[in-house]
Structure 1
Amino acid sequence: MTGATTPDVSTRSYRERLIPGPGLFIALLLVVPAVALVLTPVNAAIAVPTGVIVYIIAAATMLLLSPTIRVAQGRLIADRATIPVDQLGEIELLGAEALRAAIGPGLDARSFLLVRGWITRGVRIENVDPADPAPVWILTTRHPRRLADAIAAARVSDS
């Protein structure tokens, strides 16, 4: 693991929901006047309330469909994908530039990605399982160090 400290037993489990930041919800507010503009010629009385309802539905959908990254019971779970931590190799912490390079043109198409554009940091985790076609997992996370420490702690506790 690149640059990791000794894992602490208290970091054995990890959970993070990759919800969008407040800026995206503010930008999404533009749906209210857009819907109102379209509906005003049809029925002006329902234009703004319908815009608000569309906003609430869109915001709720973004929240409910946000993936989760977890480390629990000796497994890394990224949305619906899961892998035992003993099948994971070196972990590289990625800042904004390193993440951009990791998912750029040089990316191996077989890699497993859980990337959200509103999160600018992440981890690149080597997959050492010879039966798994994905050579690496690249995950965006707001807390790359905590995720790496949780994986390391889970490896230690499984040993």
Structure 2
Amino acid sequence: MQNIAPDARVRYRERLSPSLWLLVTIALAGPMVALIFIPAGSTVALVIGAAVSALLVAGAIALTPVVSVQGDELCAGRAHIEVHHLGRPVALTGEEARQARGPGLPARGWHLVRGGIDGVVVVPNVDPDDPVTAWTISTRTPDRLAAAIEAARS
């Protein structure tokens, strides 16, 4: 018997987690909160400060968007689109990526841009019924994401 189920394997998956320096900056809120609770006791202040730091860092990591290509669908954060609606992806790094994230960012495009992540993949949307002209997605490995989208389109 032939397997007629669609190919649902994950071709690419990346969590756009914050940089280490941003996590350290977020964690510094804990000692500031601890200073507020010093009148209640130094041990209480220390425990509350550590808990606030841990919760903020865990929340920052848990709430980061995921970019994936699974089966015939590109998912970028909460948005998703079938790859047959997409054109050929363009992987950009360095100055080209900076241009694509800044002045070259299409006004009618869909964007998932994260600071601290250099690479960008720009994918044109060829669906005539969709008002979005292109998807601009930050990624640490733009070549791999572009290749995964191309493989899913084939």
Q: TM-score, normalised by structure 1?
A: 0.82
Q: 2:98 maps to which residue?
A: 100
Root mean square deviation, CA, Å: 1.9
How much has 1:39 moved relative to structure 2? 2.3
How has the CA–CA distance of structure 1 residues 12 and 67 changed in structure 2, closer, same or farther, with 3 Å as cutoff? closer
Is this contact kept in 1: 2:87–2:123, CA < 8 A?
A: yes
Which residue is 1:21 aligned to? 19
Question: Identity across aligned pairs (percent)?
Answer: 42
- Code of the aligned partner of 2:92: L
State which drifts further: 104-113 or 118-127. Answer: 104-113
Take 1:97 and 1:122, find their aligned partners in 2: how far apart are those partners?
Answer: 11
For normalisation by structure 2, the TM-score amounts to 0.85
* Alpha-carbon offset, residue 42 of structure 1: 4.8
2:124 matched to 1:126?
yes
Q: Does 1:54 align with 2:19?
A: no
Aligned-pair distance for 1:99? 2.5
CA contact (8 A) 2:89 2:150 kept: no
CA change 1:150–1:106 in 2 (3 A) is closer
* CA distance, structure 2, for counterparts of residue 38 and residue 125 of structure 1: 48
The aligned residue for residue 7 of structure 1 is none
Distance in 2 (CA, whole Å) between partners of 1:150 and 1:65 is 24
Unaligned runs of 5+ in 2: 1-8
The residue identity in structure 1 corresponding to 2:13 is R
User: Is there any run of 5+ residues in structure 1 with no aligned partner, and where?
Assistant: 1-10
For 1:3, the equivalent position in structure 2 comes to none
CA distance in 2, matches of 1:131, 1:49: 55
1:27-83, Cα deviation, whole Å (9 max, x unpaired): 223222211223224543321211110111111111111111111111111111111
